[in-house]
Amino acid sequence: MKFRKKHRKESEVFTDSLNDILFILLMFFLIVATLANPNVVPVGLPRASKEAKAKQDIMVSINKDQEYFIGSTKVESVLFDSLLHLEIRKQKAYVDTPTVVINADTSAFYGGVFRVMGIAKRDTAKVVARVQQ
- pLDDT tens for residues 84-115? 999 998 988 888 888 888 888 888 888 888 88
Q: Given CATH 3.30.420.270, say whether it is the number of domain 58-129.
A: yes
| Residue 9 confidence (pLDDT) | 73
What is the reported pLDDT for 99?
87
What's the pLDDT at 133? 46
Is this prediction's pTM over 0.85? no
- The whole-number pLDDT of residue 69 equals 92
- The answer, yes or no, to whether residue 38 has pLDDT greater than 80, is no
Contact status, residue 57 vs residue 99, Cβ threshold 8 Å: yes
pLDDT of 7 = 67
Per-residue burial over 79-89, b = 16 or more CB atoms within 10 Å of its CB, e = otherwise: ebbeebeebbe
Q: Any idea which of 21-25, 43-47, 67-71, 128-132 has the lowest mean pLDDT?
A: 43-47
Cα distances from 41 to residues 11, 28, 55, in angstroms, run: 56, 26, 18
The mean pLDDT value for 41-63 works out to 71
Q: What is the mean pLDDT of the chain?
A: 81
Distance (Å, whole) CA 24 – CA 37: 22
> What are the φ/ψ torsions at residue 103 (nearest 5 degrees)?
-115, 80
Check residue 77 and give its pLDDT.
87
**56, 127 contact by CB (below 8 A):** no
Q: How far apart are CA 122 and CA 118, in angstroms?
A: 6
Delimit the domains of the chain by residue range. Answer: 58-129
- For the chain, the straight-line distance linking the first and the last C-alpha, in angstroms and rounded, comes to 87
The CA distance from 50 to 40, in Å, is: 24
Residue 125 has pLDDT above 80, yes or no: yes
